Structure formats: structure tokens, C-alpha cells
Amino acid sequence: MSQIAEETRSQILSLVNDFVRRDVMPVVQEMEENDTYPEGLVDQMAEFGLFGITIPEQFGGMGLDHITFAMVFEELSKGWMSLTGPIGTHHVMASIIFNSGTSRQKTRWLPKMASGEIRGGLGLTEASGGSDIQSIQTKAIKDGDHYLITGSKMFITNGDRGHAFAVLAKTDTEAIPPYKGMSCFIINKDTPGFSVGRKLNKLGYRGVGTCELIFENAIVPSENLIGEVEGEGFPQVMSALESGRINVAARAVGVAQAAFESAIRYSQTRVTFGKPISSHQAIQLKLADMATRIQAARLLTYEAAKDKELGKRVDLQSGMAKLYASEMCAYVAMESMRIHGGYGYIKDLPIERYYRDAPLMIIGEGTNEILSLLIARRLLDEYRL
């Protein structure tokens, strides 16, 4: 990396670190408990340029590399993981447009997405589909110069606050295999026939809305079909999800790091049997194990980000990073709670929040069970006899 790029990375990470310490930490407990959308904080993130982290400079973005992208998500998650929600799937949508969209689509959408004027999301999951994307039921029927889209999407991050969504639908319901009949559309919030359903009440990941999207013959212009070619939606989305899994892995590293730092500080001030609990070998073993697992997950995440930056196929690397980091995060959050004892279980400290937030990374961007199968299949392809 060039000296200029190193300086830019250092500056943006310092900016995010100061933002978390100065503006996020004093309000996170109250906002999280009340499930309040952090509108002012998200607006600040837009001012910092975080909605355009990886969008190229030619479209008004920062054009930063994927390792810096992962580091930003890690820093935000150390303060409040929910803050990554408004920019997470936003960047997946931007990636789909930049990599697969027409010149007109890039010019129309990316500058406003980079500035945060348009805040995007991703419509994949359905109530009956989950990680089985090929079983989606949302349909898009061509009707003159537009499509009529009917169906619904579930568990959509930022569904209530997003302005536009990249939505996967079937344009050919007879295609075999089914993924060859899928297309991806950009759909504005104000599209006739498009509405947002109920906001879901979640265990963790509070503050950011998770909603149902409903399409009832939604009228979508043909020019909003990504690439303006039918049947390419599945690979367009799968490629973009590689960066999505990198950002989820980075979130897990950030939450785990925060849980670890709370535990190691507490262990040095909590006294039992006449000495700090950090002097007890049982606690020392926990701390060593936690720190080692966090660093291993971080390196896996950065390696996937580096290969993504080089333009390599990284479904294997990003899958491994997301799988390991998310499981690690749940483990570290629990270990931190055990070190804190009763104080870790009450809401006066953020430990119980880390514990509630951790499962999202296990479930989100493809469940770990599905990812394990995908990893195994890629390994069998790579080591085929």
C-alpha cells in the first residue's frame, strides 16, 4: 500500500474512533434499550463519507480498499454494532450496481449513494426462503417498458429508513436450475405498489430497523433492471455478498474486541480472596484464549478483504472468515460475561448487549450451517481427485 493510502486509512480510522468515543458511547445504552434509531449518528456517518467507503472516487465515494472497509466496521462495532446496519447492505447494493450495472445506472445511483442522500438496502430473504435463495417466490413480469413485481421480503435491514433496495425476483419461473431465472432490480421506496410492513422486535441489533418489504404489482421501470439483462441477478448478488460476509466478520471481531477489553479491564480491578482476579490462573487462561481467537478471526477477515481487493474469487475465504469470526464472537461474549460474573448479566454494563448482538453474525449473511456446506463444496472442488 502506498504512503498516501496508509495515511488516508489512518485518518479515517482515527475519525471513526473519535466519533465512537465522543458521540456514540455516551448515548448507546439509552438508544439501544429504547430501540431508538440513531438518526443523528447516521447523519454524521454520512458527513464523514462512510456511505461511500468503497464507492470509487469517480462517483463521489472515498474509493478505499476492502481492508480499510473491514477496519471501519470493526471500529464502529466496538462502540455499537447497530451502527454498521445502515451502511452494511448499502455497500452490498452499491457493489452490485458498480460491478453489474449499466453506465447510466452507475451515474444515476452511485453519487447519491456515496453522499448518503440515497441510503440503500438489500431484498433477498423471504419468509419461506431464508438461506435457500433459489426458492424465492417474488416474481417480476415484464409489461411494456416496466415490470410488475409481486411478493415480499423478510428481515430487511434498514427497511424503514432506506430509500432504495436491490431486490432479487424471478423473471423466469420455469428456468432450470431456478437461479438462471432470477434478476435483480433497483426499487425506490416511493414506487407504486411497494410498502414497508411491520418492524420486527429483535433480541439484539437494536436501534436499526429490520422490516418486511411488500410488493403488490409494484411498477418498476425496465431501466431499473441491473445491467438491463434478465437472468443475471443470482451471480450479481452472490458476488456482492462476498463483501457482505467480510463486513459481518469484521463486525464480529469488533464486538468481540470490545467484550475482551471490558473483561481484561474488569479482571484487574475486581478483587477476590485478597487479589485481583486477573492474578488467578483460571482467568488468565480465559483472557489468553479470547485474545488469540480474536486475532485469528481478524487475520482471516483481513486476508479475505485483501483477496477481494485483488479481484480474486473469495467466496471460500469470506465464508471461512464469517463462519469463524461469528462463532468466536459468541464464545468471547459469553467468556466476558463469565469473567464479569453478576455484573456482566445486568444492563449497567454493555456485556449483556455484546452477548445479545453476537447471534446476528451467526445468522446474518447466510447461516453458519449453510456457509459450512458451501465451504465444504468449494474445498471438494479445489481438492477434486
Q: List all residues 6 or more positions away from 42 whose beta carbon is below 8 Å from its beta carbon.
A: 83, 86, 161
269: which 3 cell numbers? 480491578
DSSP string, 118-145: S-EEEE---TTTTT-GGG---EEEEETT
Tracing cell 471513526 back to the chain, one arrives at 16
Q: Select which of 32, 230, 335, 365 is catalytic.
A: 365
Is the alpha carbon torsion for 64, 65, 71, 73 positive or negative?
positive
Q: Which of 298, 290, 311, 292 is nearest to 354 (CA)?
A: 290
Cell of 328: 468466536
- Known catalytic membership, residue 174: no
SS3 365: coil
- 3-state DSSP call for residue 27? coil
- The full DSSP string for 298-310 is HHHHHHHHHHHHT
Give the max Cα distance, the chain.
80
Residues in the chain: 385
Up-side HSE of residue 140: CA atoms within 13 Å toward CB? 26
| Number of Cβ atoms within 10 Å of the Cβ of 161 | 18
Phi-psi region of 255 (alpha: psi -120 to 50; beta: other; left: phi over 0): alpha
- Counting DSSP H helices and E strands in the chain, the numbers are 11, 9
C-alpha cell at 307: 483477496
Cα separation, 279 vs 261, in Å, equals 16
Cis, bond preceding 177 (omega within 30 deg of 0): yes
**Alpha carbon of residue 58 to chain centroid:** 24
Backbone angles phi, psi at 148, to 5 degrees: -105, 115
* Contact by Cβ (8 Å): 374, 137: no
Q: Which residue has the cell 456457509?
A: 371
Decide: 316 and 304 in contact? Cβ < 8 Å. no
> Hey, which residues are catalytic here?
365
